[in-house]
Amino acid sequence: MERDTICVSSTLCVGTTVAFRHRFRLTSHSRGVLLGTLLLGSTACGGGPRDDSMDRELFVATYVDLRITASETDSLRLGDSEREEILTRHGVSAAELSYFAETHAEDLEFMRNVWNEVEIRLDREAEAN
């Protein structure tokens, strides 16, 4: 196994374990760690459900694009300019991605479905290449 860090923004970085076969694939354990971290972050900030965040599809598409692009680098990390280019292409900011995750962190079923969709799309991309 190889160690990777998923950084949505400077304030939302989560270490995950990824398999060599799919360098950008989230394991069940790492998905749980990520969800737990998001839940704790939301609770610590006094977060309750808010409905003014971006839609699910935009979050998933942006996150998948970030992960695919990072997986194509030797370090499995994106530089600031690469990250900003992807965020701009999708019309979102790192703060908006974090806000989406914080907004929905307490809805574990919703976030599980979001991360499952991310993983499905990453697997499809890996199979296509």
Has residue 41 got a pLDDT over 80? no
What pLDDT was estimated at residue 53?
72
CA–CA separation, 37 vs 33, rounded Å?
6
pLDDT at 32: 52
Q: Domains of the chain: which residue ranges?
A: 2-128
Higher pLDDT, 59 or 48: 59
Whether the pLDDT of residue 4 is over 60: the answer is no
Percent of the chain scored above 90 by pLDDT?
Answer: 49
Q: What CA–CA distance (Å, rounded) separates 83 from 86?
A: 5
Residue 126: band (very low, low, confident or very high) from pLDDT cuts 50, 70, 90: confident
Return the half-sphere exposure (C-beta side, CA atoms, 13 A cut-off) of residue 127.
6
pTM over 0.95: no
pLDDT at 13: 39
Of 100 and 42, the structure prediction assigns the larger pLDDT to: 100
Q: Residue 23: which of 57, 69, 86, 80 has the closest Cα? A: 69
Mean pLDDT, residues 59-71 taken together: 95
| Range of weakest confidence among 35-44, 55-64, 94-103, 104-113 | 35-44
